[in-house]
């Protein structure tokens, strides 16, 4: 991708694209804008397809999901509708099959099982481009191509929730880290992560893919077949992203990983990480333009740009008075914050400077926690009686993480 010593045209294209998109010099049309024969205020019901997994909000009062419209209903009848909206559904509707929640209610009253790929007809009311659901009239999975994969994924996520429920609080955190589902993560813990400057740790991102790729490298080295190792890496990250869902940050990490794997497989000249990130940005902007203005997208790219642009400068500073390994971690954390501080101030009105230090201590523990959780999951699937014992060890590590996060969350925030 590099042309002599000149600046790569790909990087120039990205800078121009970023300027045009975020400066709003030219209007950026929404590809999936809401449209209907009825005014939104008259719509009492919508019919369409769920195109993302339900995600609970921070206060755990609603589940949100992306919804592709097919039809709308008003008091005067039904009519065509199209575009993408956000559904807000109360927990008592979504959680009817979740362990420890309203499982018995779901069995006795035929509760709905809503996941990515579900076809819904729901009643409620519009507020802007969001539809607040009061009643689910009908629910089924789409009867189209790849439906088997959609159902397998939905059932796999449900059974995974049931396994994690057995591990109590530790299972709730592991569920969040491996599937993006936070309904079993305590709201107080999520708030502590935010105050400690560790919100990025809970977001599905490159850290999770690097862990899976590391496992594939370990297995590949044991087998001593390099190409097989690369294939295992590709399979592992693809299955994980399929299972967890294509959040903006995870899609960015997935595209970057695929590019790097392609270069290894084909043995072409290696690109710099800024070139790989630029390519990822352009691809994601084309295939998922709605991601561009989401907070996850901006923070994900901003953090990595900060690490790539300023990491070396901060590392030279930190190596003057800290060990090399610690300096590496501190420089990455500082570089990430350097580019995301303006965004955090705009969206949250505050930043957590202690996040530079807390990341250094908590992130390695989170990685160990994920590694341990994956090993325990495999063991429990093979030997179910080990579930209780594995849960004890996992909760010990969980409690250590909670203590550290709670400690760092007590440091003051900078508010504007």
Q: Both tokens of residue 226?
A: 């390099």
**CA atoms of 231 and 226, how far apart (whole Å):** 9
Give 230-258 pLDDT, tens digit per residue: 888 888 889 888 888 888 888 998 999 89
Tell me the mean pLDDT in the region 139-158: 76
Partnered with residue 121 across adjacent β-strands are 47, 138
CB 193 within 8 A of CB 65: no
| Greater model confidence, 354 or 13 | 354
Tell me the mean pLDDT in the region 281-296: 86
Q: What is the pLDDT of residue 105?
A: 44
Write out the DSSP string of 208-263.
Answer: HHHHHHHHHHHHHHHHT-HHHHHHHHHHHHHHHHHHH---HHHHHHHHHHHHHHHH
pLDDT band at 141 (very low <50, low <70, confident <90, very high): confident
Q: What is the pLDDT of residue 147?
A: 59
Q: What is the pLDDT of residue 20?
A: 75
Q: Both tokens of residue 245?
A: 């869902």
Residues in the chain: 416
| Greater model confidence, 295 or 213 | 295
Residue 322 in this model has a pLDDT that exceeds 90: no
- CA nearest 126: which of 85, 98, 154, 166? 85
Partnered with residue 136 across adjacent β-strands are 122
CB 397 within 8 A of CB 368: yes
Q: Both tokens of residue 331?
A: 């420089």
Residue 1 in this model has a pLDDT that exceeds 50: no
Q: What is the pLDDT of residue 109?
A: 45
Q: What is the pLDDT of residue 192?
A: 92
Q: What is the pTM of this model?
A: 0.85
Coil, helix or strand for 294?
A: coil
pLDDT band at 7 (very low <50, low <70, confident <90, very high): low
CB 172 within 8 A of CB 146: no
Q: What is the pLDDT of residue 4?
A: 45
Q: Hunting for tokens 């419209």 — which residue is that?
A: 69
- Quickly count helices (H) and strands (E) in the chain: 15, 10
- Count of CB atoms within 10 A of residue 214's CB? 14
Residue 375 in this model has a pLDDT that exceeds 60: yes
- Count of CB atoms within 10 A of residue 359's CB? 24
Give 251-270 pLDDT, tens digit per residue: 998 999 899 888 888 877 78
Helices 355-382 and 206-223 cross at an angle (nearest 10°) of 50
Give 8-24 pLDDT, tens digit per residue: 777 788 888 777 777 76
Backbone phi, psi, residue 399, to 5°: -65, -35
Mean pLDDT across the chain:
84
Q: Hunting for tokens 């009817």 — which residue is that?
A: 96
Residue 365 in this model has a pLDDT that exceeds 50: yes
Q: Hunting for tokens 């002599």 — which residue is that?
A: 4
Give pairs for 136-140: CB < 8 Å, separation 24+. 136/89, 136/93, 136/112, 137/45, 139/112, 139/113, 139/114
**CA atoms of 23 and 14, how far apart (whole Å):** 14
| Greater model confidence, 26 or 19 | 19
Q: Both tokens of residue 46?
A: 């919508």
Residue 132 in this model has a pLDDT that exceeds 90: yes
pLDDT band at 107 (very low <50, low <70, confident <90, very high): very low
Residue 144 in this model has a pLDDT that exceeds 50: yes
Give 39-97 pLDDT, tens digit per residue: 888 999 999 999 988 998 877 889 999 999 999 999 888 998 989 999 999 988 888 88
Backbone phi, psi, residue 37, to 5°: -70, -20
Q: Cα dist. 260→109, 214, 265, 277, 404 in Å?
A: 49, 14, 9, 11, 34
Write out the DSSP string of 306-357.
Answer: HHHHHHHHHHHHHTTTS-HHHHHHHHHHHHHHHHHHHHHHHHHSEE-TTHHH
Q: Hunting for tokens 């039904």 — which residue is that?
A: 78
Q: Both tokens of residue 100?
A: 């420890």
Q: What is the pLDDT of residue 213?
A: 72
**CA atoms of 144 and 141, how far apart (whole Å):** 9
């Amino acid at each position: 991708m590099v042309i002599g010593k000149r600046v790569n045209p790909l990087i120039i294209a990205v800078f121009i694209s970023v300027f045009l998109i975020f400066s709003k010099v030219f209007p950026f049309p929404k590809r999936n804008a809401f449209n209907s024969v009825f005014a939104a205020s008259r719509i009492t019901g919508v019919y369409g397809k769920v195109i993302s997994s339900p995600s609970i909000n921070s206060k755990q009062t609603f589940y949100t999901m992306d919804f592709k419209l097919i039809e709308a209903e008003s008091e005067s009848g039904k009519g065509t509708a199209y575009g993408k909206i956000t559904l807000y559904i109360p927990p008592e509707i979504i959680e009817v099959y979740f362990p420890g929640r309203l499982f018995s209610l779901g069995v006795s009253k035929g509760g709905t099982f809503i996941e990515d790929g579900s076809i819904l007809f729901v009643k409620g009311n519009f507020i802007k481009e969001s539809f607040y659901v009061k009643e689910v009239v009908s629910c089924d999975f789409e009867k189209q191509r790849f439906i088997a994969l959609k159902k397998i994924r939905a059932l796999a996520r449900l059974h995974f929730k049931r396994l994690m429920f057995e591990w109590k609080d530790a299972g709730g955190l592991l569920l969040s880290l491996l599937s993006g589902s936070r309904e079993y993560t305590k709201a107080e813990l999520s708030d502590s992560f935010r105050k400690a400057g560790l919100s990025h740790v809970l977001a599905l991102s490159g850290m999770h893919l690097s862990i899976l790729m590391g496992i594939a490298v370990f297995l590949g080295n044991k087998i001593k077949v390099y190409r097989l190792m690369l294939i295992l890496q590709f399979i592992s990250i693809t299955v994980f992203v399929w299972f967890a869902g294509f959040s903006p940050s995870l899609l960015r990490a997935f595209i970057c990983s695929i590019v790097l794997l392609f270069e290894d497989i084909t043995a072409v000249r290696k690109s710099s990480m800024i070139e790989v990130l630029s390519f990822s940005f352009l691809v994601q902007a084309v295939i998922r333009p709605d991601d561009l203005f989401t907070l996850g997208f901006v923070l994900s790219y901003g953090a990595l740009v900060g690490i790539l642009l300023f990491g070396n400068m901060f590392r030279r500073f930190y190596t003057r008075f800290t060990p090399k390994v610690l300096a590496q971690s501190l420089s990455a954390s500082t570089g990430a914050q350097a580019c995301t501080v303006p965004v955090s101030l705009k969206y949250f009105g505050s930043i957590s400077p202690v996040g530079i230090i807390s990341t250094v201590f908590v992130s390695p523990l989170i990685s160990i926690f994920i590694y341990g959780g994956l090993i325990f999951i495999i063991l429990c699937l093979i030997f179910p009686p080990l579930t209780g014992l594995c849960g004890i060890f996992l909760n010990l590590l969980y409690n250590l993480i909670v203590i550290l996060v709670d400690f760092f969350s007590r440091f003051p925030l900078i508010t504007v």
